[in-house]
């Protein structure tokens, strides 16, 4: 008999929405799941980020445990050069983690590499500089600055989609956002057309996620991910 398969079924990517612990009991539960290294990294964060960090990394571990069919205590990760987590002992289970002020997301897939990104809608300090960093010439022409809102929602939506793809590729922010070309339009959720991504041709699926007002989020999967399920 083959090994029992756990986790999202073929064609699906699951995204868990994580918020700060509701009380001290929940915080202590999350802290108990962290490794010594994670506790040390948390200690160096500013106080306002520590609770969500604990919740996000605990959620990564519990979600991975549920999808791999192993006890939480037997789940471990190795890190790529850009910090991307890989599940030790279950290479077919792909995971990604992203967090911003007040919210974190954990994505899991068995179809192929996955990347997730969430950003809080805050006007960039240098919108023009960010446009040059993020948008290709074609995208900049298609989405001029005057088309955007006061918080640069369209620009941040492009950024979120591109970072999700770069995280799936394993490069993260070390990659070139202008090398990823997308057409998210003005929507807040649903499939996004991905025109180009670095590397060999793949069957990419890119989706915007509605995770609540004040945020933009996206998930990218190479090799599948036609259906996205948001989990509380």
The predicted pLDDT at position 2 comes to 41
Is pLDDT of 98 > 50? yes
CATH of the domain at 131: 3.90.470.20
The predicted pLDDT at position 5 comes to 59
Q: Are 99 and 52 in contact (CB under 8 A)?
A: yes
CA nearest neighbour of 124 among 146, 95, 98, 153: 153
* 143 inside domain: yes
Distant-in-sequence, close-in-space partners of 20: CB < 8 Å, separation ≥ 6: 51, 52, 55, 102
pLDDT confidence band for 133 (50 / 70 / 90)? very high
On average, the pLDDT of the chain sits at: 94
Interval 22-65: pLDDT, tens: 999 999 999 999 999 999 999 999 999 999 999 999 999 999 99
* 105 inside domain: no
Q: Are 125 and 156 in contact (CB under 8 A)?
A: no
Three-class SS state of 175: coil
The predicted pLDDT at position 185 comes to 84
Q: Which residues pair with 163 in a beta bridge?
A: none
The predicted pLDDT at position 166 comes to 96
Backbone phi and psi for residue 199, each to the nearest 5 degrees, phi listed first: 95, -175
Domain count for the chain, please give it: 1
What range does the domain containing 182 cover?
Answer: 117-231
Interatomic CA distance for residues 225 and 136, integer angstroms: 26
Interval 184-225: pLDDT, tens: 988 889 999 999 999 888 899 999 999 999 999 999 999 888
Neighbouring C-beta atoms of residue 168, cutoff 10 Å: 30
Interatomic CA distance for residues 202 and 199, integer angstroms: 8
DSSP assignment string, 177-226: GGGSEEE-TT-SSEE-EEEE-SSS---EEEEEE---TTEEEEEEEES---
Three-class SS state of 115: strand
pLDDT confidence band for 4 (50 / 70 / 90)? low
Q: What percent of the chain has pLDDT over 90?
A: 85
Average pLDDT (69-91) is: 92
The predicted pLDDT at position 26 comes to 98
* 24 inside domain: no
Q: Which helix (H) or strand (E) holds 117?
A: strand 114-120
pTM: 0.94
The predicted pLDDT at position 1 comes to 35
Interatomic CA distance for residues 98 and 159, integer angstroms: 14
The predicted pLDDT at position 3 comes to 47
Distant-in-sequence, close-in-space partners of 97: CB < 8 Å, separation ≥ 6: 56, 57, 60, 85, 104, 105, 106, 107, 116
Q: What percent of the chain has pLDDT over 70?
A: 98
Interval 145-168: pLDDT, tens: 988 888 999 999 999 999 999 999
Distant-in-sequence, close-in-space partners of 169: CB < 8 Å, separation ≥ 6: 113, 115, 175, 197, 198, 199, 222
Tokens coding 71: 């006890």
């Amino acid at each position: 008999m083959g090994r029992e398969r756990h986790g999202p079924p073929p064609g699906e990517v699951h995204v868990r929405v994580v918020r700060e612990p509701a009380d001290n009991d929940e915080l202590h539960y999350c802290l108990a799941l962290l490794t010594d290294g994670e506790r040390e990294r948390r200690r160096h964060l500013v106080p306002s980020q520590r609770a969500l960090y604990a919740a996000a990394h605990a959620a990564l571990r519990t979600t991975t445990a549920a999808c791999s069919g192993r006890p939480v205590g037997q789940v471990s990760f190795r890190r790529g050069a850009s910090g991307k987590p890989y599940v030790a002992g279950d290479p077919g289970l792909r995971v990604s983690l992203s967090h911003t002020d007040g919210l974190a997301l954990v994505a899991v897939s068995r179809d192929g590499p996955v990347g997730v990104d969430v950003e809080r809608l805050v006007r960039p300090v240098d919108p023009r500089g960010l446009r040059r960093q993020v948008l290709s010439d074609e995208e900049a022409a298609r989405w001029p600055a005057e088309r955007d809102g006061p918080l640069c929602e369209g620009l941040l939506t492009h950024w979120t989609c591109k970072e999700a793809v770069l995280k799936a590729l394993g490069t993260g922010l070390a990659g070139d956002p202008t090398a990823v070309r997308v057409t998210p339009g003005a929507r807040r959720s649903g499939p996004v057309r991905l025109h180009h991504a670095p590397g060999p041709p793949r069957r990419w699926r890119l989706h915007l996620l509605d995770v609540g007002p004040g945020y933009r989020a996206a998930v990218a999967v190479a090799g599948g991910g036609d259906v996205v399920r948001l989990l509380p």
